[in-house]
Structure 1
């Protein structure tokens, strides 16, 4: 009898151990980025991803996944791995826009701003109008420099930003540049931020990951 009970316990332990570790690390209308046992993939509604996990529905608030015939609601960046602890590193998945660029909502010094991700920019770059709106007195605190742009050499100011944040990923003490280009131009999320986080492009999805 004891041997039989022990065998049953072992069987249950084996089933629990075999349960897939599933995370939803990105949410978009009609698609979700799944991380199943460490394998990450963008899966559209109706399609099947790693481990046979099917996306039933998805929007910005959450996704419904079918796992082994059972449908469950999943929210962003939650770990449903049967008691396994969620990773300490924070990640953010950004889908490519229709223009072929990656746009992401973020903040500078706690103030919201929309970024264009630009790996060719050496620093986080703002226009003078954007810096004024964020309350950055760049003329008083910054160092005037000359910056080469597509339209020639422009005046700029090298500054230090207390905080730059996108999603849950925050980097403090980030080098920034304010460009004297009037009211036009985008805020660029450049390498002074990207160089301090992990990033990669996977199936037209840009994945950012904190290093701590």
Structure 2
């Protein structure tokens, strides 16, 4: 496995296809009394209580929780956890398309879920599998010690790691199942979204966006 890339964390949007009704909504932060929302893969947008953005109305806001409404349906959002809402969405991760905008350093970052637990991903075609640190594995409750011991090439040389399979990985409303992953002792500020995930998609660069279309 190639050496892990290291880059500064930059918040970027979870992307889903555009629609009149909100398919995917995520709360990514707050600024005072305003929520920062990502709707159907939009750039993050600050919204005040009572205001609407792309068909989603912010009903109420607390420290790390918001209530939004779309087409008469209300849902509670928790920080960095994508939620499907409205007539076009599905909570089962049945979408097929991901669009990731490049950050100022050219990296493709996104929030997502591993086994229904929130993580920060960086798309990395140089990583053989989904790859994460021991700290991230522990945080999401992954018992990596049951994985197969392997040798991992890191920036600091060869280190022991664990190869295992993830039940599911989700980005926006796109979910894939039964993926290989490696847990490494190297400290990383995010999870590498490597080729065990990428190979399930056709991938193309469109200006400053990376578009992934699910193949299976």
Shorter chain as denominator, the TM-score bin is: 0.5 to 0.7
Change (3 A) 1:61 1:193: farther
Whether the aligned pair in 1 keeps the contact of 2:119 and 2:190 (CA below 8 Å) is: no
Superposed CA RMSD in Å reads: 2.8
**TM-score, normalising length from structure 1?**
0.59
| Structure 1 portions without partners, runs of 5+ | 1-21, 31-59, 64-75, 80-87
Q: Distance in 2 between matches of 1:108 and 1:23?
A: 24
**Partner secondary structure for residue 192 of structure 1:** helix
**Partner secondary structure for residue 27 of structure 1:** coil
TM-superposed deviation, 1:211: 2.1
Q: Distance in 1 between matches of 2:189 and 2:112?
A: 17
Task: Tell me the matched-pair count.
Answer: 140
Q: 1:157 aligns with which of 150, 159, 162?
A: 162
Q: 1:27 aligns with which of 42, 54, 63?
A: 42
**Partner secondary structure for residue 130 of structure 1:** helix
TM-superposed deviation, 1:204: 1.1
| Structure 2 portions without partners, runs of 5+ | 1-16, 20-39, 46-51, 56-84, 89-93
Whether the aligned pair in 2 keeps the contact of 1:169 and 1:209 (CA below 8 Å) is: no
Q: Distance in 1 between matches of 2:53 and 2:161?
A: 40
Kindly indicate whether structure 1 or structure 2 has the higher relative contact order, using CA contacts under 8 Å at least 6 residues apart.
2
Structure with bigger gyration radius: 1
**Partner secondary structure for residue 114 of structure 1:** strand
Runs (4+) of structure 1 exceeding 3 A deviation are 22-26
Whether the aligned pair in 2 keeps the contact of 1:89 and 1:211 (CA below 8 Å) is: no
TM-superposed deviation, 1:94: 1.1
Aligned residue number for residue 104 of structure 1:
110
TM-superposed deviation, 1:93: 1.2
Q: Distance in 2 between matches of 1:210 and 1:188?
A: 18
Q: Distance in 1 between matches of 2:97 and 2:139?
A: 28
Larger proportion of helix: 1
**Partner secondary structure for residue 176 of structure 2:** strand
Q: 1:146 aligns with which of 142, 151, 157?
A: 151
Aligned residue number for residue 173 of structure 2:
168
Whether the aligned pair in 1 keeps the contact of 2:96 and 2:213 (CA below 8 Å) is: yes
Q: Does 1:125 align with 2:131?
A: yes
Whether the aligned pair in 1 keeps the contact of 2:107 and 2:122 (CA below 8 Å) is: yes
Q: Distance in 1 between matches of 2:44 and 2:138?
A: 34
**Partner secondary structure for residue 98 of structure 1:** coil
